[in-house]
């Protein structure tokens, strides 16, 4: 069950950050890479509110082909607050991933992992709850810092928080802003980068996230 109050969520995050699950790494076979996102009503300003309608989508891509997708509609559990994203989005994202007809080998989440005030952002929390390896993919870091990598596709540089590497900047295309790639549940920074790079399909944003975002926006447009 997802925590329903900030205090309960903070306690759960500290517990997850202290956990030591068995590490995961990809094998030789093409991965079924999942991704999930939530969209909210257009024109929404500020942190939003509990009860806001939301559309969550999940997509599963293997070797460049979409092999499963799902969309669910629900309501925000809370306003947005830094470090407490799970209160707002967690249950919706979980529902979308569980609605997939096939289980992902690894899941990309539009959220952070270890780059978090208590060391367990939504990308890590969702993976623990679903029992899936996860990596976070965001456009900026939350607390971690690090210089951008060279302007070449595949270039990386570390994201550090309190001297610990919690993720990486990854340049998925030359001439574009790098992505912040976060270690999540059972993944290291290097494994997270490898998964995101494998899911790129030549775009700045990994293909599974692109597909999931497109599905969520289409569902929102249809009400």
pLDDT tens per residue across span 67-90: 999 999 999 999 999 999 999 999
What integer best gives the mean pLDDT of the chain?
Answer: 96
Q: How confident is the model at residue 209 (pLDDT cuts 50, 70, 90)?
A: very high
Statement: residue 202 has pLDDT above 80: no
Q: How confident is the model at residue 47 (pLDDT cuts 50, 70, 90)?
A: confident
Task: Evaluate the CA torsion angle 101, 105, 110, 115 in order and state its sign.
Answer: positive
In degrees and rounded to multiples of 5, residue 27 shows phi and psi of -95, -155
Q: How confident is the model at residue 219 (pLDDT cuts 50, 70, 90)?
A: very high
Q: How far is CA 158 from CA 162, 163, 175, 190, 214, in A?
A: 12, 10, 19, 10, 30
Beta carbons within 8 Å of 160's beta carbon, 6+ residues apart: 144, 145, 146, 166
Distance between CA atoms of residues 18 and 22, nearest Å: 13
User: pTM score > 0.85 for this model?
Assistant: yes
pLDDT for the residue numbered 144: 98
pLDDT for the residue numbered 216: 98
pLDDT tens per residue across span 122-166: 999 999 999 999 999 999 999 999 999 999 999 999 999 999 999
DSSP structure class, residue 48:
-
Pairing of strands 164-170, 179-183: antiparallel
For the chain, the structural domain boundaries read 36-221
pLDDT for the residue numbered 46: 81
Q: How confident is the model at residue 172 (pLDDT cuts 50, 70, 90)?
A: very high
CATH tag, 36-221: 3.30.2170.10
Q: How confident is the model at residue 2 (pLDDT cuts 50, 70, 90)?
A: very high
Distance between CA atoms of residues 77 and 134, nearest Å: 22
Sheet-wide strand order for 164-170: 65-75, 53-62, 32-39, 106-109, 134-138, 179-183, 164-170, 156-161
At 216, list the tokens: 């969520």
Q: How confident is the model at residue 43 (pLDDT cuts 50, 70, 90)?
A: confident
SS3 10: helix
Distance between CA atoms of residues 127 and 168, nearest Å: 19
């Amino acid at each position: 069950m997802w925590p329903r109050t900030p205090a309960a969520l903070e306690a759960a995050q500290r517990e997850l950050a202290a956990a030591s699950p068995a590490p995961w790494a990809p094998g030789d076979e093409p991965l079924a890479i999942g991704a999930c996102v939530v969209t909210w009503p257009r024109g929404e300003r500020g942190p939003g509110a509990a009860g806001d309608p939301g559309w969550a989508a999940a997509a599963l891509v293997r070797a460049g082909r979409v092999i499963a997708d799902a969309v669910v509609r629900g309501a925000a559990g809370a306003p947005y607050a830094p470090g407490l994203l799970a209160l707002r989005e967690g249950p919706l994202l979980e529902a979308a991933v569980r609605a997939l007809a096939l289980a992902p080998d690894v899941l990309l989440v539009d959220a952070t992992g270890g780059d978090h005030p208590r060391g367990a952002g939504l990308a890590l929390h969702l993976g623990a709850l679903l029992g899936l390896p996860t990596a976070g993919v965001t456009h900026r870091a939350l607390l971690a810092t690090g210089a951008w990598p060279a302007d070449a596709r595949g270039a990386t540089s570390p994201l550090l928080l309190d001297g610990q590497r919690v993720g990486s900047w990854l340049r998925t295309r030359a001439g574009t802003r790098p992505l912040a790639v976060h270690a999540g549940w059972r993944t290291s920074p290097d494994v997270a980068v490898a998964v995101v790079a494998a899911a790129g399909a030549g775009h700045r944003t990994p293909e599974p996230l692109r597909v999931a975002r497109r599905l969520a926006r289409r569902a929102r447009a249809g009400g």
